[in-house]
Chain A
Amino acid sequence: MTTSVTIPTGGELGATASAVPVASVRTRTRWSQRVRPRRILLTVLAFAVSLAWVFPVYWMMNSSLLSNRTLQSFIPTFLPFGGSFANYENVLEDGSFFTALGISLSVTLIAVFFCLLFAFLAAVAISRFRFKGRKAFVLAVLIVQMLPAEGLFIAQYKMVSSVGLLNSVIGVSIIYTAAVVPFTVWMLRGFVAGIPADLEEAAMVDGLSRTQAFMRITFPLLAPGLVASGVFAFLQAWNEFTVALVLLPAEQMHTLPLWLRGFIQASATRETDWGQVMAASTLVAVPVIVFFLIVQGRMTSGLVSGAVKG
């Protein structure tokens, strides 16, 4: 087992959930069954909390289906009866969504591609080799990973604008790649280390060269790790707001988060069409939610793995 997947996250939901902890939870459940009324109370509480937590997500979708006239009423409409997709049609009408989608896609895909490539090479280096400067590199990666965008974006703005890359896909992509590489290196390192070098050696005994052994044995085993890391890099770049705000000031260069923010900004000067804003939010959120659900199990374990090993 690699270090990055040691924690079975989220019980049954986690991608890496193993049978043992689930079983252990059941045992504990049986104990508490003796205290019936308390258990019923807790179950009710669990459902109430679930409802409260999911409510904003539900409310976004509900409002997106209701007409502006329904939303104007002072009594909220809690179910989308009589709703329509008119808000979506209105949002998509002027084409600004597709422009933003295009910018978001190009920035994110460029960043993810280079990030995966660079991080993969670095991860192989630090998990398959011991060399001078290795520790310094690992430390640098961990520290850079913690640096907040809020502490660097003014300097990044100055640098990017001084080379004339303001409002260009390339400028943002470079910053995104650099911002996401550290976490990706760290995540891939766990995956590479999880594949025993013995496998490669066995292949080499059978006559393959070191490179051939790596490409034919280790690389295919690494594919899930690459996909998971790629999805993370994708989500981070896709949702990024701070750097995009300073590096892409021109409206026709806005990424999806900036495009969505435009709706709220406009609300300062005129009556907000909340149905449209919620339809726009849903368009931005749904693909992200789907991707996120695919990889979330590894997310938790990657971030806190140090705690369990230490």
Chain B
Amino acid sequence: MTETITRDVAATEPAKPRTPAGRRRFLSVPHLLLIPAILILLVGMGYPLVWQVITSMQEFGIKQQFGQPADFVGLQNYIDLATDPTMWQVVGRSLAFCFITATMTLVVGLLLAVLMTAVGRTARLTLQISLLLAWAMPVVAAMTVWIWLFDRRRGVVNYLLDMIPGVDMNRFSWLSNPLTFFIVASIIVIWMSVPFVAFSVYAGLTQVSDEVLEAAQLDGANGAKRLRYIIMPMIRPVIMIVLLLQLIWDLRVFTQITMLQDAGSKASEFDLLGTYIYKLGAGSQDFGMASAVSIFVLALTLAISWFYVRALLKEDEQS
């Protein structure tokens, strides 16, 4: 950094960022600092995004891979998608998977967080350590283990279920039927995501002031009422954020579904949005349609995450 710039900063940079002096003039130093980050984002995200928007409005299939110019077709790809029953099945399945899994994760996470506050130190630490270990597992490694656990012939799950009197799960093939396939996927995703929810909600719970709770108790509020009228309202923001993040994350379960398909079946009834795009793009080389579905996924994600982004923006303004 040159001497001039340094002096310039010292002269113009306000002590507290929010002071009016800071808005007085156009500063070049912060803009310079942003250049590398902006450049890498433009290259890695911006350009692909723009390409994708354009391609989603083009006829871009195998012929274009071999140099034929891509024709502009306007919204034709989107119309094709909207009238394609397969697309609607995939979208419906993805949304159902996302909502069911996220809700279950939230419920289990909440219960575990409450459980953590209700038990002694040893039990709580044990629970926290096992949750942390599950959380830390890399997705791919977690998938291999779960596929082994659900193995048709020698998996522990079938073995244990088979021991229940009257249940015959011997050689039950979980991954060859779409319903049980997605039940397995959901169990795995819930297992992976509950720790984050449980820890976040537990952190929120420990911040509920004891004085308030005690006062409520003196006023005659029983446990259920304290939970309903005091604890829940106070941890509501945490729950909202956690639920939103779960919804967004459960829409992007490409790794999990791909690996389950590796072990089971690649048929289209086992597709969610991520694998559907992958098959369209990398498989059928239909980049026009793949881009259109991708844009749909991006729009869906942004719609769900808008509230979260707004909450973070508010935090930024307060700092």
Q: What residues make up the interface of A, taking CB atoms closer than 8 Å to B?
A: 3, 7-14, 21-22, 24-25, 27-29, 32, 39, 42-43, 45-47, 49-51, 53-54, 56-57, 59-60, 63, 71-76, 114, 117-119, 121-122, 124-134, 137-140, 142-144, 146-159, 174-175, 177-179, 181-182, 185-186, 189-190, 193, 197-198, 201, 204, 209-211, 238-239, 241-242, 245-246, 256-257, 260-261, 263-265, 267-268, 274, 277-278, 280-282, 284-285, 288-289, 292-293, 296, 300-301, 303-310
Contact = CB atoms under 8 A, between A and B. Distances in A.
Contacts of B118: 29, 32, 39, 42
A277 B154 contact: no
Contacts of A73: 154
B146 A261 contact: no
Interface in B117-133: 117-121, 123-133
Nearest to B12: A129
Given A122-B37, A263-B144, A285-B141, A158 B287 contact: yes
B135 A138 contact: no
A47 B125 CA distance: 10
Contact of A129 (B13, B133, B254): B13
Interface of B: 1, 6, 9-10, 13-18, 22-23, 26-27, 29-31, 33-34, 36-38, 40-41, 43-45, 47-49, 51-52, 55, 112, 115-121, 123-149, 151, 153-154, 156, 159, 191, 194-196, 199-200, 202-204, 206-207, 209-210, 213, 237-238, 240-242, 245, 248, 251-252, 254-255, 258-259, 262-263, 273-274, 277-278, 280-282, 287, 290-291, 294-295, 297-298, 301-302, 305, 308-309, 311-316, 318-319
A284 B142 CA distance: 10
Main secondary structure of the interface of A (DSSP, over half): helix
Nearest to A280: B144
Contact of A49 (B29, B127, B313): B127
A189 B40 CA distance: 18
**Interface-centre pick from B121, B145, B287 (highest chain A CB count, 10 A):** B145
Contact of B124 (A11, A122, A137, A154): A11
B140 A121 contact: no
Contacts of A8: 203, 206-207
Given A264-B262, A293-B136, A148 B298 contact: yes
Contacts of A114: 40
Contact of A126 (B30, B129, B248): B30
A148 B14 CA distance: 37
Contact of B44 (A27, A156, A242, A293): A156
Contacts of B23: 130
Contact of A59 (B38, B47, B145, B262): B145
B15 to A, nearest CB: 6
Given A11-B202, A142-B312, A148-B297, A154 B116 contact: no
Given A14-B203, A130-B14, A178-B40, A47 B123 contact: yes
**Interface-centre pick from B202, B248, B295 (highest chain A CB count, 10 A):** B202
Contacts of A304: 200, 203, 238, 241-242
Contacts of B159: 74-76
